[in-house]
């Protein structure tokens, strides 16, 4: 386009090319206004962050140039320079001779502090010339201030240093090469690779621990010929119950039973044999000992506190209607623990003892709740009198009040006492004579069939036995009486507390009535036991010395379980005596168990605080060999953290009351996840004769 045409176009449009260009740019800016705003914002933010970064770097550089801190001069009240704190290692550590690790702060920034750095530690900065400070002004007799003419005393420099840190755990050892000439870097790398592979398992306080550090590296070995070069640990580990032992194949056994918890690292210090010898030579010559051949690594190491130490033991405190605390926890007091023991004779030549103990579980102690278990017993088993006034029956029972029921401790107390007292009133000497003594021939036949049937009466025989003995009716009356008394207690308590229900008193119940019949077995005598069991827990008779049932069985019967446990649909559920549907003749009859035996070593009743840790399922509770193992190994051989067991139970020279106190101590054993109330009642023959005094 020529100039004339351009001029003509300008005349026609009224705009010059420059004007058109500016107009196009303006239109573009308007159409891209949002994008430009974002770009401007990004630019401004970038500029701000850049300026902040430059300012930060400037401040850090200024701080790095500062080699002193300021403190307040106590004499002038003004600020003054002070010494920068430097962690100084000790020259020698008696725990680790040959390694300059120090005893208080052996590491700085996770590294051994070299001697060169230690030599450069700043001296105290003087406050004036000649390393002295001007003496403070002294007041004269008139109270005005005058300058002191006395010689100024040196002033001790105040250094703001942190308190000394405890010595970290250290394992130290010396390596040497199988062949000469291996470079230090080879040794360092091989050892560091192996340490990097270690994953040290956590330990637990008061629990045995062992871990093997495997340094089976080709052409290297830990020096063992020199006693001073054996693997060592410092006092931090030895005081906490650990030891080390050098095993074959460059393996270090690290073991012990820690006494306290720890969450940090174990530091490994290792050096070549050549470096060790050089250090020894330098030390002997009084020269500075080299540190450049010492290598340091660390690995995380945790010692967990024992769970037992985390449980609280709070007193039981209830609240009244106004929410104020008081000590008897809802009107029903219950001791945290109780134990008792007694010797009872059942013939002129024999006797047996009862040993019982009950303790509040950790789960209750942790929140200040009371013990809900209960036990009760009465003995009428002493030698029968000539007039028959002594019926000769013995009664034992335990109960576990439901932890979710706020008055269950009262329910368990009422249940145990009521069933024993009702049975004792029903099983009179006259009743015993009519039902048992006058038909001893029939009783003997039932006993023999019981033995031949492997400890269980045939259905026809059992039906005949129940109908003749009427024991199902006697037990039904006793169980119903216990239910009625608990119901009456709830109704009475409801007068003051309208929201009270009978299931606030929920409780299980295990009970047994047993008697020695001298007429059985052609005058040799034998035991008969009737038992009732509702809920969880366990009841059993054990005999590891003789055939418990006699008869024609070739294999002696060692154990009889006196019923079956009740489990609900879900874990932790069970049945209770306080459930109305349980109080029928049919239900009570199904829960009865009749047992004959010629002798027994022990009869046991326990609550679920015992069965849960040792019998973790209903099948385990009725597993007879498992009961014998529990009795022989856990009582005699030890239990969890009570390694000595409760051997006092088996010593006939010890008074039964002392045995019950030992049993109470044993009940404190630790079992993970099992912290319910625990109750054990044991009856066993004994030769102990109670002193007259």
Average pLDDT, the chain: 75
Domain architecture of the chain: domains with CATH: 2-150+158-308 (no CATH), 334-685 (3.60.40.10)
Higher pLDDT, 636 or 525: 525
Residue 248 has pLDDT above 60, yes or no: yes
Residue 638: its pLDDT value, please? 60
> Poorest-confidence range of 58-62, 500-504, 546-550?
546-550
User: Higher pLDDT residue, 571 or 572?
Assistant: 572
**Does pLDDT of 106 surpass 70?**
no
* Cα separations in angstroms, 42 against 38, 39, 48, 346, 520: 6, 5, 10, 100, 104
- In angstroms, the CA 283 to CA 287 distance is 6
DSSP annotation of 507 = B
Phi/psi region, residue 392 (left: phi>0; alpha: psi -120 to 50; beta: rest), is left
pLDDT for the residue 391: 76
- List of residues 6+ apart from 415 with CB closer than 8 A: 374, 397, 399, 482, 486, 507, 509, 577
Separation CA 488–CA 506 (nearest Å): 14
At residue 96, the pLDDT reads 56
143 phi-psi bin (left φ>0, alpha ψ -120 to 50, beta other): left
pLDDT tens track for 146-187: 333 344 444 444 455 555 566 788 888 777 765 556 677 777
Share of the chain above pLDDT 90, in %: 28
Report whether 240 contacts 233 (CB < 8 A).
no
Task: Give the pLDDT confidence of 304-357 residue by residue, as tens digits.
Answer: 998 888 888 888 876 666 766 655 566 788 889 999 998 886 655 567 899 999
Q: Is residue 637 scored above 90 in pLDDT?
A: no
Answer whether 567's CB lies under 8 Å from 608's CB.
no
CA distances from 301 to 104, 122, 202, 261 (A): 19, 35, 6, 10
> What pLDDT sits at residue 318?
66
Q: Tell me what pLDDT residue 142 has.
A: 37
Span 64-90, pLDDT tens digits = 444 433 444 433 444 444 434 334 333
The pLDDT score that the predictor gives to residue 319 is 63
pLDDT band, residue 129 (cuts 50/70/90): very low
What confidence score (pLDDT) does residue 505 get?
94
Q: Using pLDDT thresholds of 50, 70 and 90, give the confidence band for residue 490.
A: very high
Confidence of residue 554 (pLDDT cuts 50, 70, 90): very low
3-class DSSP state of 675: coil
CA atoms within 13 A on the CB side of 116: 3
Q: Which residues are CB-contacts of 383 (< 8 A; sequence separation ≥ 6)?
A: 345, 346, 347, 348, 390
**Strands annotated E in 316-452:** 318-319, 325-326, 337-345, 351-359, 373-379, 393-400
């Amino acid at each position: 386009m020529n100039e004339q045409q351009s001029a003509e176009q300008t005349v026609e449009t009224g705009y010059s090319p420059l004007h058109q260009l500016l107009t196009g740019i303006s239109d573009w800016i308007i159409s891209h206004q949002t994008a430009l705003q974002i770009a401007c914002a990004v630019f401004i933010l970038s500029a701000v962050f850049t300026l902040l970064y430059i300012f930060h770097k400037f401040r850090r550089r200024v701080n790095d140039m500062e080699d002193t801190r300021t403190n307040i001069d106590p004499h002038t009240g003004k600020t003054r320079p002070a010494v920068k704190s430097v962690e100084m290692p000790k020259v020698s550590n008696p725990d680790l001779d040959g390694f300059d690790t120090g005893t208080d702060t052996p590491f700085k920034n996770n590294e051994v502090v070299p001697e060169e750095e230690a030599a450069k530690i700043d001296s105290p900065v003087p406050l004036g010339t000649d390393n002295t400070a001007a003496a403070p002004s002294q007041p004269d007799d008139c109270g005005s201030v005058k300058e002191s003419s006395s010689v100024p005393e040196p002033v001790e420099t105040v250094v703001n240093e942190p308190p000394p840190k405890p010595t970290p755990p250290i394992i130290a050892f010396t390596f040497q090469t199988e062949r000469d000439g291996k470079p230090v870097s080879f040794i360092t790398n091989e050892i560091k690779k192996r340490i990097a592979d270690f994953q040290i398992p956590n330990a637990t306080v008061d629990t045995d621990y062992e871990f093997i550090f495997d340094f089976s590296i080709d052409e290297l070995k830990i020096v063992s010929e020199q006693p001073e070069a054996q693997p060592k640990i410092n006092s931090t580990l030895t005081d906490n119950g650990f030891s080390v032992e050098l095993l074959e194949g460059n393996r270090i056994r690290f073991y012990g039973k820690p006494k306290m918890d720890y969450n940090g690292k174990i530091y490994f210090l290792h050096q070549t044999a050549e470096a060790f010898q050089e250090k020894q030579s330098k030390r002997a010559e009084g020269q500075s000992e080299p540190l450049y051949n010492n290598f340091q690594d660390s690995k995380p190491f945790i010692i967990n506190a024992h769970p037992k130490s985390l449980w609280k033991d709070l007193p039981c405190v209830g609240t009244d209607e106004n929410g104020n605390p008081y000590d008897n926890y809802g009107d029903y007091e219950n001791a945290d623990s109780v134990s008792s023991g007694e010797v009872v004779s059942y013939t002129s030549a024999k006797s047996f003892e009862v040993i019982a103990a009950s303790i509040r579980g950790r789960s209750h102690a942790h929140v200040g709740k009371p013990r809900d278990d209960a036990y009760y017993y009465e003995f009428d088993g002493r030698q029968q009198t000539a007039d028959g006034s002594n019926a000769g029956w013995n009664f034992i029972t335990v109960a576990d009040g439901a932890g979710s029921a706020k008055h269950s401790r009262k329910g368990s107390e009422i249940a145990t006492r009521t069933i024993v007292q009702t049975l004792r009133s029903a099983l009179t000497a006259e009743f015993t004579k009519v039902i048992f003594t006058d038909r001893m021939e029939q009783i003997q036949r039932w006993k023999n069939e019981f033995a031949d049937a492997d400890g269980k009466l045939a259905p026809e025989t059992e039906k005949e036995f129940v109908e003749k003995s009427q024991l199902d009716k006697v037990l039904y009356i006793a169980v119903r009486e216990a239910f009625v008394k608990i119901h009456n207690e709830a109704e009475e308590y409801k007068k003051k507390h309208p929201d009270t229900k009978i299931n606030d008193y929920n409780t299980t119940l295990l009970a047994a009535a047993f008697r020695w019949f001298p007429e059985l077995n052609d005058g040799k005598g034998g035991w008969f036991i009737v038992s009732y069991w509702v809920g969880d827990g366990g009841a059993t008779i054990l005999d590891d010395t003789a055939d418990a049932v006699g008869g024609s069985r070739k294999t002696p019967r060692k154990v009889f379980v006196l019923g079956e446990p009740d489990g609900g649909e879900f874990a932790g559920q069970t049945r209770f005596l306080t459930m109305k549907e349980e109080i029928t003749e049919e239900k009570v009859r199904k829960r009865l168990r009749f047992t004959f035996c010629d002798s027994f070593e022990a009869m046991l009743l326990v609550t679920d605080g015992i069965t849960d840790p040792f019998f973790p399922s209903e099948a385990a509770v009725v597993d007879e060999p498992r009961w014998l193992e529990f009795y022989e190994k856990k009582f005699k051989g030890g239990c969890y953290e009570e390694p000595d067991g409760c051997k006092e139970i088996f010593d006939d020279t010890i008074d039964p009351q002392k045995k019950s106190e030992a049993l109470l101590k044993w009940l404190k054993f630790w079992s993970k996840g099992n912290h319910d109330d625990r109750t054990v009642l044991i009856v066993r023959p004994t030769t102990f004769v109670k002193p007259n005094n």
